[in-house]
Amino acid sequence: MKRIYLDHAATTPLCKEALDAMQPYMTEYFANADSTHFLGQESGNAVLSSRDNIAKCIGAKSSEVYFTSSGSEADSWAIKGIAFANKNKGKHIITTEIEHPAVYNACEWLKKEGFDISYLKVNNKGLVSIEDVKNAIRKDTILISVMFANNEIGTIEPIKEICELAHENNILFHTDAVQATGSIKYDVKELGVDLLSLSAHKFFGPKGIGALYIKEGVKIDPLVNGGEQERGKRGGTTPVYLTVGMAKALGIAIKDIEKNNKYVIGLRQKLIEGIKDEDVSFNGNVDAENVLPGTISVLFKNTLPGIVLHNLDIAGIEASAGSACAAASDKPSRTLLGIGLSEEDSKRTVRFSIGKDNTIEDIDNTIQAVKKILERLKKGN
């Protein structure tokens, strides 16, 4: 059976161009990028050009892009690194209740170190209100972190406005752009953000590499201590081939972004129309503009929690519950509870996330499978 992959928000397959670009750096050009001999310089130059290309894609300077091992590390570094570098100014941080665990749990961890965290609520579309941010700001607030786009329901947050508000109050602003990057074209200078996290495996790049954009002049403590790699801010021998793959994949994603988005939005619309039913409702911002092109969060009302997802898997369709990261646990999704779902309904929810590699046939087959499952469940077996 051909499996239909509709879980691009969890991870994407590596694109062929990135694989081809990486291969020489896994074999022939294996040297340490910091070695001064000939081969070392070849590696070093590859990392330089990866950094340049990534910087260009997001509107940053090369010197503002720092490689990390993942989006999670970039998030953790941003939150903890800023907290510790600014603890003499204050110990209050504002974030949202729908953040990815990488941000949320970094904040929870900081509580043990005496930091105070305000978690902003969202409306039933998953949107943070500017008014709420205003009201949460205190004299001792040092950082506001709001995700660019949510990984479960796809809602895009008004980060430019929140960032402006932060700066009016002399507060640093971080955004987790891991889910947004590759689906939304942005420019860090235009957004004005101080820190921004990304991860290669969400835009058809390799797993195991991410990056943190740190605006020039922003003081941050290291998270990973070590040698002089990443201008002394992040230790660890640079995985040259991963930087090459990340840069290649991001370049392609940005080049094709309009074409891909148009195509993916078409597939998404088709899936939404095809599975509409009295027992189906759509979470979040389904018909609005400010939602990621490929993400659909679907509530299957009147079903046993988890049963639709399980039946989809049997039918060869790879979707997920709220998010892949929470799949192993039994905890209800913070995002789905945040937009007002009951615990039971959060477990009746399935996330489909479509990618540029999906076909119209994939969507047709998914619609048929969903219809069959719903019919069977309605008959009570």
Ligand X SMILES: *Cc1c(COP(=O)(O)O)cnc(C)c1O
Contact residues for ligand X (CB under 6 A)? 70-72, 75, 100, 102, 147, 151, 176, 178-179, 199, 201-202, 210
Active site residue 325: yes
| Residue 274, amino acid | G
Q: What are the structure tokens assigned to 235, written together?
A: 């230790």
Residues β-bridged to residue 300: 280
Residue whose Cβ sits closest to ligand X: 71
Between 57 and 106, CB nearer to ligand X: 106
Min dist. Cβ of residue 260 to ligand X (A): 18
Can you state the angle between helices 240-255 and 38-58, rounded to 10 degrees?
30
| Residue 232, amino acid | G
Q: Are 195 and 213 in contact (CB under 8 A)?
A: yes
Between 157 and 176, CB nearer to ligand X: 176
Distances (CA, A) of 367 to 42, 298, 358: 50, 13, 14
Q: Are 321 and 333 in contact (CB under 8 A)?
A: yes
Min dist. Cβ of residue 28 to ligand X (A): 27
Print burial letters for 275-308: b (CB count within 10 Å at least 16), e (below 16): beeeebebbbbbeeebbbbbbbbbbbeebebeeb
Between 54 and 369, CB nearer to ligand X: 54
Min dist. Cβ of residue 269 to ligand X (A): 23
Between 210 and 355, CB nearer to ligand X: 210
Min dist. Cβ of residue 90 to ligand X (A): 25
Catalytic residues: 325
